[in-house]
Chains A and B, each alone.
Chain A
Amino acid sequence: MVAATKGGAYLNMSAEQAAEATAGLVQLMPEEWRGDPGVPALANLPNRPDCEPVLKELTRGVPLHMLLDRGEDSLHPKNDRKLLSAPDFFLSTPSDIHAFISHRWAADPSMTVQALHMAVILRFVATLFNRVEDDPLLCPMVFHCLHRRPHLRRRVLRVYVPSVFWYIVLTMLLCFFIFPVPLLYCVLPMFTPYIFLNVLDINSKVARLLFANKANPQMGPVLWFDKASVHQTEPCLNQAGIALFPYYLDKAKELWILFTPEYLTRVWCIYELANWLHTKPDAPIFLVPLQRNARLFRSVLRWWPWAVFAWTTCVGLAVLCIAFLTQRKSNEFIRKVVWWVATTVVYPIVSGSVFPSLLQPRLAHAP
């Protein structure tokens, strides 16, 4: 069988490689279930000892960055089984599942990606107010600092440290010679993982390279996403994937619902929600309201540069007030502050027109 990962990096398999890997998976199925066994017949799959190898192979997920991908390889525009092929299935890799994603296939792909970005940002913000050890995005950094999980050091070094360093250096370069207190900007790196994420996933290959890790191919939380975690072309694997829904839901620690008003009208969405409420009534449900989050995301992109300018102006005014109140004013100092504030107006004028067009996903369903 062709490995789904090479050196920890996700591979875009060719159709031939995917066909070979699919044949390998079919071989792992019991003989009576190859072909077209039907979903009900496969319900017993998790309980059969001879199915352990295939069960291990079919319990798979995709990393979070793949769902944030708005490039050509994005899975979101493929809203029909016919548009998905065997290589799409092998974008996922066998792994423990952190969360099960429940969603409507017909949801607008741009809105989905934008909303997921915003959900990640809001969740990161939430960790500042909640218990950080519960959060799969921030806990590696915290655990690293506490030296409880030395094996996570590599992840931290690869994502958090470069992003914070990159931002600080850039800010220093821009501001050091203009303003005497550049370290103020060090507060902003709290945002950098997501600024970094936004910049990087312009090119999903770069994101894939960065997030992939030899020791841990899945960087960050691994999510069960049906478009990639269920084989859509091979009947027996497809039916096994559908039959294993309760098993996947049981294995997942969280249910992520990509909520649209139509979500509660789709029978399979109801099935996933009902199963979760039945088997894990108190387990976490992470709701991602697509319309609200997408609108918020677009607003942040549109107004963020102006907010930075407004924020800088406020800080500049505060500095001037303090300088006047403490009688430490000098013409040189005032000139520097005014110049610093004035230069930041360039940022929204330039980036306000460039960033939104660069960062806003423009995905559409395939015709």
Chain B
Amino acid sequence: MRHERVRIARQLKDFDVANCSAFYEKDKAYVLGLVAEWFGTDGEDDERAALEQFNELVRTRVAQRLRRTLLAGEARMVAFFVLLGVLVMAIVAIVCGVRPSPEP
């Protein structure tokens, strides 16, 4: 689990939208153009800067969310089973505590 988290974190740290691939080259140009348009600063035509801004968003926000998802999933599983165990033990204690003494 930890290895996978580290691997994904490394991949996201090195993310560069320019390295993505497409079946048709024109698709790549079209999508990169759109991404540049969406993430470009007003009045600035520098496509590279806009793409870099998107890269930064993926490296930070998406990476953070993914890391949180991975950790939270594992933590929830553990927490749930611990909670379930405690609950069961509590019920056992309560039920056994109120049971009448067995007949001699």
Q: Which residues of A contact B (CB under 8 A)?
A: 122, 125-126, 128-129, 180-181, 183-184, 187, 190, 259, 261, 264-268, 270-271, 273-275, 277-278, 285-287, 289, 291-293, 296, 311, 314-315, 318-319, 322-323, 326, 328-330, 332-333
Contact = CB atoms under 8 A, between A and B. Distances in A.
Contacts of A315: 88-89, 92
Contacts, number: 124
Nearest to A279: B38
A311 B88 CA distance: 10
A122 B11 CA distance: 24
A187 B102 contact: no
Contacts of B31: 267-268, 270-271, 274
B58 A273 contact: yes
Interface residues of B, number: 52
Nearest to A272: B31
Contacts of A289: 4, 8, 66, 69-70
A184 B20 contact: no
B27 A270 contact: no
A191 to B, nearest CB: 9
Contacts of A285: 62, 65
Nearest to B75: A129
B69 A332 contact: no
A287 B58 contact: no
B95 A181 contact: yes
B69 A265 contact: no
A63 B73 CA distance: 23
A364 B87 CA distance: 41
12 contacts: A128-B80, A190-B84, A267-B20, A267-B27, A268-B22, A274-B31, A275-B34, A291-B4, A318-B93, A322-B96, A322-B97, A328-B99
Counting from the closest, the 5 A-B pairs by CB-CB distance are A330-B102, A267-B22, A278-B38, A322-B96, A287-B69
Contacts of A333: 102
Interface string B68-103: 011011001101100111011101110111010111
A289 B21 CA distance: 21
B88 to A, nearest CB: 6
A267 B54 CA distance: 14
